[in-house]
Amino acid sequence: MKIVFATNNAHKLSEIKSILGSSIEIVSLSDIGCTVDIPETGKTLEENARIKAAYVFEHYGLSCFADDTGLEVEALHGAPGVYSARYAGGAGHDSEANMRKLLGELSGEPHRNARFRTVISLLQVNENHPQKPIEHQFEGIVTGHIATEKHGQEGFGYDPIFIPDGYNQSFAELGETIKNKISHRARAVEQLALFLKAGR
């Protein structure tokens, strides 16, 4: 079985390949010659994940899955959520600016519960209706809280300020091996893997 993962993020690609094993061939956007930065214009993680998967299905006619992740902070009514990458404005993906803004918003706030949520949208070629893919979504969540300052060097994004439940260190201190066992993305990918392996 061959399936496109709508990403060019090498870290995400290798994480997913290691969970899925060799029985399912995963290819990236660059592997299929897609160089477009698919715009994430949705208002929810679900919409954005589907938009990315649908782009590949519509333009290449291939089965595809895509993910979208957000950090949801209770005291901020779920913000930054779908806007996590662009929370501090600008072109986005400025993790230092995003963390600074979040710590500022939570300054003096004792209630710091938060969670990372990943949604994966899977669109599979439907042999009976070539224009109409078979659709499934999978979700992975890790709960925790936001620290009052940054800790640790590993990981990316909000990792230095997110402390998962059951631990007293941030994702950036815990490191990749522990994070990949308990993370939102790992949990969503496990759901996807169970589904794909069952249907093989």
Q: Which stretch binds ligand IMP (CB under 6 A): 30-38, 101-109, 121-129, 157-165?
A: 157-165
- Closer Cβ to ligand IMP, 69 or 121, answer by number: 69
CA distance to 8, 14, 57, 122, 166, per residue, from 11 (Å): 9, 5, 23, 20, 25
95 vs 24: CA distance, rounded Å: 33
CB-based closest residue to ligand IMP = 157
Among 63, 121, 124, 183, binds ligand IMP (CB under 6 A): 183
92 vs 48: CA distance, rounded Å: 16
**Per-residue contact string for residues 101-140; x = within reach of ligand IMP by CB under 6 A:** ---------------x------------------------
| 31 classed as catalytic | no
Please give the residues from 44 up to 73 whose contact with ligand IMP meets the rule CB under 6 A: 68-69, 71
Pairing of strands 2-5, 64-73: parallel
Given the residues 31, 37, 67, 68, the one annotated as active site:
68
45 vs 67: CA distance, rounded Å: 8
Q: Which stretch binds ligand IMP (CB under 6 A): 25-33, 131-139, 144-152, 154-162?
A: 154-162
- Closer Cβ to ligand IMP, 130 or 144, answer by number: 144
167 vs 170: CA distance, rounded Å: 8
Name the residues that contact ligand IMP, by CB under 6 A: 68-69, 71, 84-85, 93, 95, 98, 116, 155-159, 171, 183, 185
